[in-house]
């Protein structure tokens, strides 16, 4: 027997006991069968089963500012009905603890939404029953709907909290549990210290060891269709179709997600022509059969959209991720092998930020309004804000921070997230962003301009900004911590041939930002490199930004910076 097998054998009785205790409280027949099979195999000495069982019970999915997100399956380190029951009971306790300060109602309201992923509807109904059983007023959205509808409903219904069951654009076998707070939080996602307080309540429930004893009730309600109607009306009002929009030829994909139905209703109300759909991807399907990874940013994810656009002679492609909180845009490109290219999140964000700044300036609100983006997003938004006399805020990554920027008129992050209507939705919203983009496109079209023309005009007005991103996906998340520690212990003095001017380590906070595991490297030529772990995936991310006097110069500089950053990563990896 090898040392590894001997260690596994020593640990087997403990992990089997944990698994059996979990099995006794699991209400899901599928995960019970899965766990019984693993326990039997582990008891017979199957090394692979022991390793699998150990992985499932070696800790638990952490509840943080992104809520819960992970692979479906039995065990404390997976997404399942036991874990969701613990989370719902813990959140209920938190809401009740804060009820006296967050709401005047005797019974605080919690609203629950869910998307089309596997078990999303089950997790949502479990949560509704547990919230009602805890004495809260629980409202379940009427059917599977986009995440922005849930974020809207928290504010619209005056809820103390909201839960969205979704894993957004994660792999098909993942699911998640995203939490929003009402009251003074205004419908934004949770931030510290709320995340730690909720996590503490969840741990207390878990330590009690049996979710079957948690009180449940069927006395929850289903939200009326008027909630969805109100979201549709508010979103259509973001950019009603200008005259001449009826001739626009465009393609839309929902990426097998839940955005199609709601987006179609918004388009009808706003007056835009119907798109040519990517028919194989328009209906919700949690298996995501036509994409390896249901994220518009991933290579190949938009290939069917490109094919449809070529066949229909489209002018633009609009894509949502599976829960429709992100927006991707592609435009014709004769130099691309496919004839199309997807715009970067920064390019979309800068165009939408420019649009927002013009609207604010036209209203005469520039002195009070602000633009905001995450610190890893393009510094071009700061140039837009300065040009129009608006305030600007750089925040930590995530819309939980962007949405809290004071007097926000528009916010974005480079990962295809945009907040264009902060009066109604305090989170990224791919549907309202798509409407804003269609408004921008059709207005430009009326002037004889394309999106490519708008990008050129932006460069001429504000300077040519170029960005790039490098992602290192790892199997062992400890690799990320090791690389970050190495960079801190041996900070670079140059990236490629450009000397480093200074490095900001945000572990202790900087520029008024909360602490974060982020390194921001400034180079002597004004370029910027930011290194941080992903908050939702096992990735280390590097963000590169440059500014040039021309688009060509900016592209030369970003290529050189990218090569230097890859060499740095190899050195410390």
The catalytic site residues sit at 168
Q: How many CB atoms lie within 10 A of CB 181?
A: 26
> What phi, psi does 259 have (nearest 5°)?
-80, -25
Task: Please work out, in degrees rounded to the nearest 5, the angle formed at the alpha carbon of residue 376 by the alpha carbons of 374 and 380.
Answer: 80
510 touches 489 (CB < 8 A): no
- Could you give the C-alpha distances from 171 to 69, 385, 538, 541, 562, in angstroms and in order? 11, 36, 12, 18, 27
C-alpha to C-alpha distance for 187 and 183, rounded to whole angstroms: 7
DSSP 274: P
Q: Are strands 137-140 and 68-71 parallel, antiparallel or unpaired?
A: unpaired
Identify any residues that bridge with 392 across adjacent strands, giving them in sequence order: 371
Token pair of 409 as six digits: 């008129």
Coil/strand/helix, residue 495: strand
Task: Please work out, in degrees rounded to the nearest 5, the angle formed at the alpha carbon of residue 416 by the alpha carbons of 144 and 149.
Answer: 25
By C-alpha distance, which of 500, 505, 491 is closest to 561? 500
* Sign of CA pseudo-dihedral 478, 479, 483, 486: positive
C-alpha to C-alpha distance for 148 and 157, rounded to whole angstroms: 14
217 touches 110 (CB < 8 A): no
C-alpha to C-alpha distance for 151 and 176, rounded to whole angstroms: 15
Identify any residues that bridge with 189 across adjacent strands, giving them in sequence order: 180
By C-alpha distance, which of 43, 73, 42 is closest to 60? 73
Burial 122-161, CB ≥16 within 10 A → b, else e = bbbbbbbbbbbbbbbbbbbbeebbbbbbbbbbbbbbebbb
Extended strands (E) in 391-485: 391-395, 408-413, 417-419, 464-473
Q: Quick one: CA torsion of 213, 218, 219, 222, rounded to 10 degrees?
A: 130
C-alpha to C-alpha distance for 152 and 228, rounded to whole angstroms: 9
Token pair of 243 as six digits: 């005259």
444 touches 453 (CB < 8 A): yes
503 touches 522 (CB < 8 A): yes
- Could you give the C-alpha distances from 258 to 227, 283, 464, 467, in angstroms and in order? 17, 7, 36, 30
C-alpha to C-alpha distance for 397 and 415, rounded to whole angstroms: 10
């Amino acid at each position: 027997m090898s040392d590894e097998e001997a260690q596994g054998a020593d640990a087997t009785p403990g992990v089997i006991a944990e698994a059996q205790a979990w099995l006794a409280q699991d209400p899901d027949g599928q995960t019970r069968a899965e766990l019984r099979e693993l326990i039997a195999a582990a008891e017979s000495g199957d090394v692979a089963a022991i390793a699998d069982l150990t992985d499932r019970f070696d800790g638990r999915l952490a509840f943080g500012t992104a809520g819960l997100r992970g692979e479906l399956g039995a065990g404390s380190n997976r997404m399942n009905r036991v874990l969701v029951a613990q989370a719902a009971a813990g959140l209920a306790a938190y809401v009740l603890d804060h009820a006296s300060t967050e709401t005047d109602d005797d019974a605080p309201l919690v609203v629950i939404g869910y998307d089309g992923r596997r078990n999303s509807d089950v997790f949502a109904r479990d949560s509704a029953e547990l919230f009602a059983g805890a004495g809260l007023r629980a409202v379940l959205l009427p059917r599977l709907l986009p995440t922005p509808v849930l974020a809207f409903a928290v504010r619209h219904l005056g809820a103390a909290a909201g839960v969205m069951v979704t894993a957004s654009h994660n792999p098909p076998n993942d699911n998640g549990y995203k939490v929003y707070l009402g009251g003074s939080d205004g419908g934004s996602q949770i931030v510290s210290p709320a995340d730690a307080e909720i996590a503490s309540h969840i741990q207390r429930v878990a330590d009690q060891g049996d979710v079957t004893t948690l009180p449940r009730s069927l006395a929850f309600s289903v939200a009326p269709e008027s909630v969805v109607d109100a979201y549709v009306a508010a979103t259509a009002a973001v950019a009603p179709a200008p005259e001449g929009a009826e001739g626009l030829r465009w393609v839309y994909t929902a990426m097998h997600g839940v955005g199609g139905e709601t987006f179609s209703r918004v388009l009808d109300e706003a007056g835009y022509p119907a798109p040519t759909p990517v028919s194989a991807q328009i209906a919700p399907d949690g298996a995501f059969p036509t994409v390896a990874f249901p994220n518009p940013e991933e290579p190949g994810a938009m290939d069917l959209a490109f094919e449809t656009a070529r066949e229909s002679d489209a002018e633009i492609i609009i894509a949502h991720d599976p829960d429709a909180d992100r927006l991707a845009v592609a435009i014709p490109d004769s130099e691309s092998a496919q004839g199309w290219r997807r715009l970067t999140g920064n390019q979309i964000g800068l165009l939408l930020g420019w649009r927002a700044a013009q609207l604010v300036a036209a209203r005469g609100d520039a002195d009070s309004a602000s633009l905001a983006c995450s610190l890893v997003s393009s510094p071009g938004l700061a140039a837009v804000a300065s040009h129009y006399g608006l305030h600007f805020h750089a925040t930590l990554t995530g819309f939980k921070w962007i949405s809290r920027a004071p007097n926000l008129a528009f916010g974005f992050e480079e990962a295809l997230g945009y907040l264009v209507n902060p009066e109604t939705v305090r989170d990224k919203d791919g549907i309202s962003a798509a409407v804003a983009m269609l408004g921008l496109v059709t207005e430009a079209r009326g002037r004889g301009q394309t999106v490519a023309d708008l990008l050129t005009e932006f460069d001429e007005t504000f300077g040519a900004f170029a960005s790039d991103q490098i992602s290192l996906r790892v199997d062992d998340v400890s690799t990320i911590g090791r690389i970050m520690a190495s960079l801190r212990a041996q900070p670079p003095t140059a990236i490629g041939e450009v000397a480093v001017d200074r490095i900001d380590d945000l572990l202790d906070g900087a520029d008024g930002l909360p602490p974060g595991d982020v390194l921001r490297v400034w180079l002597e030529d004004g370029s910027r490199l930011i290194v941080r772990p992903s908050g939702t995936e096992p990735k280390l991310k590097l963000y590169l930004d440059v500014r040039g006097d021309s688009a060509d110069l900016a592209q030369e500089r970003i290529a050189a910076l990218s090569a230097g950053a890859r060499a740095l990563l190899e050195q410390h990896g």
